[in-house]
Structure 1
Amino acid sequence: MRVLFLRPDNEDNELNEKLMILRKNGIEVLNIPIFKIKCVSYSLPTYDYEALAFTSRNSVICFKDRTLIKNVHKIYAIGEETAELLMKMYNVNPITPERFTSIELAKRILEDKVNSILSIRSRKASEDMRNILNGKIKYDEIYVYDSEIIRDNINEISKILTECEVDAIAFTSSLMAKLIGPFIRGKCNIIIFSIGPMTTETLKRVNNKVKIIESKTHSIKGIIETILVEMKRNGRD
């Protein structure tokens, strides 16, 4: 089985270690980055927030104000990997929603009766949290990183998918789904793996002709486990 595993360019060694699990189980992994993550300058609002929300690992990596993290009463995170990195870097145990989406995080913030929160995000972030929280609590966002698309790699992936050179493809973000989803052709019978609900919704929006297998645990570890289960179920290697 040959799997195209999409990722950002600057993922750390932890991802490579996790992908070794697939390789040790006889799966060939084609690991192609499709965008670069760049930390960008930002300014903090002059407000004493009750809570912070981190929406990805990159938001943790690119946020530099350690003092603010220590001073807020609550910290929220989307995703297992984001929470793990916060614990590793700052020794904090963030609150995470049951489903790792910005919509579910916004709902959890309202359930917890948080009065004010600053969300640490990408410049390409969706408006879901803002739409839900604005007017109900004091809600602000700062954008600490951006994504730069690697066009040559997009073209390479398009060729790979057009010529049916892989058995499966793993999408680990909505941006990846938006960029690559339209290139998938039904004739190839490629198995589509999605890391979670937001990525699945984007895939359905850009290509409604493919069947999607969504990871029950919305993390890199979860999608790898889902690939292994599917491989064994179909007897593919």
Structure 2
Amino acid sequence: MNVLVTREEEKYQILAEKMKAFGLTPFSLPMIECSPVGAIITGEYDYAVFTSLNSAKYFKPHISRVTINKVVAVGPSTAAALLDIDIKTDIMPETFSAEGMKELFATEDVEGKKFLFAGAKVRAGDFHEYLRGRGAEPVMVATYQTQPVKYPPGYIEAFLKENKIDIVTFASPSAARAMLADIQHIDQQIVCIGKTTADEVRFLGYDSRYPDDYTLDWMVRLIKELS
């Protein structure tokens, strides 16, 4: 089973090793690239919410200027990335999505609490709006931006055909948009990391599958089941 990984090049190896362990053959074709943006974060926050590896990675320059009472990581991969910059996770939702975050804070008194969201310039999910509706103060700061990787016309379709790709994977809505908005059509099965990315794929006119547990490990298990 040949599987296309559309993550950034530096993240490809993580997913590729998991696939190889299940007897799958990964191929890399990055669809997005990330770069830092000028941002200054200071002050004290009741909570800091990190939703991805990149949100942790690009937060490193700001650590010394902020005070955080509790750190929330959406998923074990994000928690591991935070540990890499010496930040320990205090809270993690059971479901790694905006809905999971809402469930996590459903019984918490968040009125007047200050939440820091440091991450992508353009983001999916509405958890911050949910908090605002309950009287909290979400602070959105862009620490990095994503850009689509541009390939020559027909290159993606040729890559899929020449490498006999069976399944295309997406780990973010931005990767899905970068690829599916730039081609005529693909016939391969599509597997996403979670519901938010799958919803974007469906919005773009394609069917997709995603695991019940929104992690890379369960994503690979689902791919194996489809093989």
TM over 0.5: yes
Flag the 1:6–1:43 CA change in 2: closer, same or farther, 3 A: same
- Of Structure 1 and Structure 2, the greater helix share is in 1
Q: Where does the alignment leave 5 or more consecutive residues of structure 1 unmatched?
A: 232-237
Flag the 1:155–1:118 CA change in 2: closer, same or farther, 3 A: farther
Q: Where does the alignment leave 5 or more consecutive residues of structure 2 unmatched?
A: none
Equivalent position SS for 1:3: strand
Name 1:20's counterpart in structure 2: 17
Give CA deviations for 1:96-141 in whole Å, capped at 9, x if unaligned. 2222123432453453323211111200113613322224211111
Asked if residue 34 in structure 1 is aligned to residue 23 in structure 2, the reply is no
Name 1:224's counterpart in structure 2: 220
Equivalent position SS for 2:89: coil
Flag the 1:104–1:4 CA change in 2: closer, same or farther, 3 A: same
Flag the 1:150–1:122 CA change in 2: closer, same or farther, 3 A: same
Flag the 1:79–1:155 CA change in 2: closer, same or farther, 3 A: farther
Aligned length: 222
Corresponding letter in the other structure for 1:100: F
Pick one of 130, 142, 158 that aligns with 1:132.
Answer: 130
Q: TM-score, normalised to structure 1's length?
A: 0.81
Note the 1:93-132 alignment, pairs <5 A. Answer: 93-114=89-110, 115-126=113-124, 128-132=126-130
Q: TM-score, normalised to structure 2's length?
A: 0.84
Asked if residue 57 in structure 1 is aligned to residue 56 in structure 2, the reply is no
Note the 1:43-54 alignment, pairs <5 A. Answer: 43-44=40-41, 47-54=43-50
What RMSD, in angstroms, separates the aligned Cα atoms of the two structures? 2.7
Equivalent position SS for 2:85: helix
Shift of 1:184: 7.5
Instruction: Give the fraction of aligned pairs with identical amino acids, expressed as a percent.
Output: 19
Asked if residue 157 in structure 1 is aligned to residue 156 in structure 2, the reply is yes
The question of whether the paired residues in 2 share the 8 Å contact of 1:77 and 1:96 is answered with: yes
